Amino acid sequence: MPGAGSGAEDLSAALGAGCGAWFQDADRTFYRASGLLQRAEAASGAERAALAREALRLMMQARRGGGRPAGRLSALMEALM
């Protein structure tokens, strides 16, 4: 059941609880980073840079976690540039 968090966070929690073997913490981290990149795209200046840095930090964290999202990192970074 959705909680007070964002829709993406609620969905991530539900997928993690119901499909833990398929949707792991690294996946959740990757999608949080993807959301930050989308916000960065609409922002400007210092806010844009801060959002992009945080997204990159999260993506590197997901990659270190051994999750499957690492292969999508290149495509997202290309889209950012």
Q: Which pLDDT tens digit goes with each residue over 38-51?
A: 999 999 999 999 99
pLDDT higher than threshold 50 for residue 5: no
* pTM (whole model) above 0.75: no
Q: Is 24 helix (H, G, I), strand (E, B) or coil?
A: coil
Angstrom distances, CA of residue 18 to CA of 8, 52, 58, 76: 15, 30, 23, 27
Alpha-carbon distance of 18 to 16, in angstroms, equals: 6
pLDDT above 90 as % of the chain: 22
pLDDT higher than threshold 70 for residue 29: yes
Confidence label for 79 from pLDDT (cuts 50, 70 and 90) = low
Per-residue pLDDT, 26? 81
Q: Is the dihedral of CA 21, 33, 74, 79 positive or negative?
A: positive
Instruction: Check residue 67 and report its DSSP letter.
Output: -
